Amino acid sequence: MKNMLINGYALTHFFIALVGAVELRHLQPPRLEAHNLGRRVICYRPLRHGSPLLAIERIAGKTVLHNAGLGGSGWTLGPGCVQHMIRQFEEISHGLVQPAMPIEIVGGGVVGLMTAYFLVKRGYQNITISAALFDDLTSHRAGGLIAPVSMDNDPSVQILLDQISIAAYAFYKTIADGFNEDFIGGARMMPAYFMTREDAGFDAYIGTVMREPRDVVVDFGNGTQRPMVEYQDALFVDTPLMMEQLTAFLRDKVIFIQRKITHFGQCAADYIFNCTGLGSGELLNDDQFVPVQGHLIMLKDQDKRALDYMMLVYFDATMNEHGQRVERSFYQFPKKDRGAGETDYGVIGGTFIEGATAQTPNEQEFELLVNRARNWFGLAGHYNNH
């Protein structure tokens, strides 16, 4: 220390040593020329202010178990929330529930299908899933990062949600490790990079299911370097593949009915799992449910082997011309559309626009997103800006 104060040479070497201690990661950016930008997707996270709705309610003489409003974390929390609500279900029935007892699940997204999956695994045999739609849902479109994102939770529910997140991580890890033959290739472990530990939101996972992150410098091989936090044991879930595998598992075990319900009294079963996502706002007249619009661009013609990492970086938050709060980020995951070409691989995304609907698609966000991605990877000067 004394040396550093009196000797500039020693000081310089101290910093070199410090920088040398931070590990370098060489990552290849995705190709982001105009012809690499494929399908554009707009979809809506089912946010519920205060907390996801995880509760039991008597409605029209039925017992309704709510599991809705999981925001930008439906995949991250899904299996944990489902197991939590099934435990509640079995507690209120005091062990009287028989496998033949009729159960109706309303909603065919990840929450509805996972509910059916875990009920079947527990031995229930008389399950019906009713849903207005089964295809091309938010659940299929989601990016696939397992991390708590875009929620607005009251601190009083955080302990429960942390337990739920950890249970969900453990479920996906069995898939990633190849120990769940119902979901082959549905989840994979890979590094994820964030600007800060707060952005990652993994604090509850560290020391329980995940290891400590590392501070690294990411080098994109084009002169651009970024100091980042690396989690080597993050999980990526292939959302369209998981939806396909869930459906395949359930096909001969449950009854699927396509219909929209307007009241839980329309369900025949006495026990109902409400897994309607944003639909719950209307069904329950609950104005705490809010859509959070997101924009995604599927990538084409990529070097697939180079993109097995995830990255999430937050930028500015502002109000747009519709009076909607826009939070902009940039993220990249190695997602692939079902049936897409072998090199059509990867997705970029990154908008969170609260209260936006199909009437305000905010299409300009796609171009802003591409610009953010190119700037982040140091590619801005390399391509024509279209």
Residues binding ligand FAD (CB under 6 A): 43-46, 68, 70-76, 106-112, 130-133, 137-139, 142-145, 260-261, 275-277, 279, 283, 294, 296, 349
Residue 276 near residue 266, CB atoms below 8 Å = no
Nearer to ligand FAD, 71 or 191 (CB): 71
Q: Where are the alpha helices (DSSP H) in the chain?
A: 2-6, 8-21, 74-92, 110-121, 138-141, 158-176, 197-200, 239-250, 279-283, 364-376
**Cα–Cα distance, 371 to 348 (Å, whole number):** 11
Residue for token pair 């007249």: 285
Residues whose CB falls within 8 Å of the CB of residue 255, separated by 6 or more in sequence, listed in order: 127, 128, 129
Residue 103 near residue 128, CB atoms below 8 Å = yes
Q: Minimum distance between the CB of residue 279 and ligand FAD, rounded to whole angstroms? A: 2
Pairing between strand 62-68 and 271-274? parallel
Helix (H, G, I), strand (E, B) or coil at 188: strand
Helix (H, G, I), strand (E, B) or coil at 102: coil
Q: Minimum distance between the CB of residue 29 and ligand FAD, rounded to whole angstroms? A: 20
Q: Minimum distance between the CB of residue 120 and ligand FAD, rounded to whole angstroms? A: 17
Nearer to ligand FAD, 97 or 368 (CB): 368
Nearer to ligand FAD, 131 or 373 (CB): 131
From the list 53, 64, 110, 115, the residue with the least C-alpha distance to 290 is 53
Nearer to ligand FAD, 229 or 284 (CB): 284
Nearer to ligand FAD, 215 or 282 (CB): 282
Kind and range of the H or E run holding 38: strand 37-48
Nearer to ligand FAD, 285 or 384 (CB): 285
**Cα–Cα distance, 65 to 75 (Å, whole number):** 19
Residue 165 near residue 80, CB atoms below 8 Å = yes
Nearer to ligand FAD, 27 or 70 (CB): 70
Nearer to ligand FAD, 68 or 103 (CB): 68
Q: Minimum distance between the CB of residue 164 and ligand FAD, rounded to whole angstroms? A: 12
* CA 212-189-111 angle, 5° bins: 105
Q: Minimum distance between the CB of residue 50 and ligand FAD, rounded to whole angstroms? A: 16
Nearer to ligand FAD, 283 or 373 (CB): 283
Nearer to ligand FAD, 128 or 139 (CB): 139
Q: Minimum distance between the CB of residue 199 and ligand FAD, rounded to whole angstroms? A: 14
Q: Minimum distance between the CB of residue 93 and ligand FAD, rounded to whole angstroms? A: 24
Q: Minimum distance between the CB of residue 43 and ligand FAD, rounded to whole angstroms? A: 4
Q: Minimum distance between the CB of residue 54 and ligand FAD, rounded to whole angstroms? A: 12
Around 182, how many Cα atoms within 13 Å sit in the side-chain half-sphere?
16
Residue 267 near residue 64, CB atoms below 8 Å = no
* CA 29-195-201 angle, 5° bins: 115
Q: Minimum distance between the CB of residue 175 and ligand FAD, rounded to whole angstroms? A: 14
Q: Burial letters for 292-307: b for 16+ Cβ neighbours within 10 Å, e otherwise?
A: bbbbbbbbbebeeebb
Q: Burial letters for 107-134: b for 16+ Cβ neighbours within 10 Å, e otherwise?
A: bbbbbbbbbbbbbbeeebeebbbbbeeb
